[in-house]
Amino acid sequence: MKRRLQLFLPLAIFLGLCLMFYVALFRDNPGELPSALLDQPLPTFELATVKNPDRTVTRESLLGEVALINVWATWCPACRVEHPYLVDLANKGIPIYGVNYKDDQPEARKWLKTLHDPYRFSINDKSGSLGIDLGVYGAPETYLIDHQGVIRYKHVGIVDANVWKNDLEPRFRHLKEKALKATANNHEEEAI
């Protein structure tokens, strides 16, 4: 009996650890990290754009439409993987704004010229201050904002067809419908 217990106990512990690991690994979407900024307005900022360092943009520059904000960098291999898909989304009319995170600006401009530019504009966040305010863990990260500039979803990792179809697109469409209803309600109130 004691011998059986000596054999069974380590096996039971090992199987228990395997079960806990499996549950932790597959329980949640690994690309979805909770953020303290969910359902909060975008942080305020005033930064130059990558393509035109003389042009300054602010939080208000991103208001008025449901959009994606993509954090990227030329030093990020995963950003290079997702970039062609972002170009496809932009070509389909999805508004995307870039945050070029802690990057060399001449390299970033070269990247956008060579690989095509999916962004309405890309913000030069060389110091990482906007990234810190957004709670960026690294690149790539993609935020979904509503038409009022409120962060509604955060995806960490590559955006590809699967992520778009299953995670981002349903939320994007829902927010777009809400924005259209809000606009229609505002027009009705103005007409009264």
CATH number for the domain harbouring residue 136: 3.40.30.10
- Verify that 127 and 40 share a domain, yes or no: yes
Question: What band does 8 get if pLDDT is binned at 50, 70 and 90?
Answer: low
- Give 97 or 7, the one with higher predicted confidence: 97
- Verify that 25 and 35 share a domain, yes or no: no
Tell the residue number behind the tokens 């754009």, with chain if given: 49
CB 70 within 8 A of CB 97: yes
- Verify that 5 and 52 share a domain, yes or no: no
Sequence-ordered strand ranges (E) for 28-178? 46-48, 56-58, 67-72, 96-101, 122-125, 141-145, 151-156
- Verify that 5 and 96 share a domain, yes or no: no
- Verify that 76 and 13 share a domain, yes or no: no
- Give 175 or 190, the one with higher predicted confidence: 175
Query: Does the structure show a pLDDT above 90 at 22?
Result: no
Q: Read off the pLDDT of each residue in 98-106 and give the average, rounded to a whole number.
A: 98
Give the count of domains, the chain.
2
- Verify that 42 and 21 share a domain, yes or no: no
What pLDDT score was predicted for residue 66? Answer: 98
- Verify that 163 and 109 share a domain, yes or no: yes
* Mean predicted lDDT score pLDDT of the chain: 88
Tell the residue number behind the tokens 């924005």, with chain if given: 179
pLDDT digits (tens, 9 = 90+) for 111-151: 999 999 999 999 999 999 999 999 999 999 999 999 999 99
Structure tokens at 62: 């991103």
- Verify that 35 and 65 share a domain, yes or no: yes
Q: How far is CA 153 from CA 32, 78, 90, 113, 184, in A?
A: 8, 20, 19, 29, 24
Domain that holds residue 65: 31-191
- Verify that 110 and 65 share a domain, yes or no: yes
CB 73 within 8 A of CB 103: yes
- Verify that 67 and 151 share a domain, yes or no: yes
What pLDDT score was predicted for residue 183? Answer: 79
- Verify that 53 and 75 share a domain, yes or no: yes
pLDDT digits (tens, 9 = 90+) for 151-182: 999 999 999 999 999 999 999 999 999 999 88
By CB atoms closer than 10 A (0-12, 13-18, 19+), residue 186 is: exposed
CB 139 within 8 A of CB 101: yes
- Verify that 134 and 122 share a domain, yes or no: yes
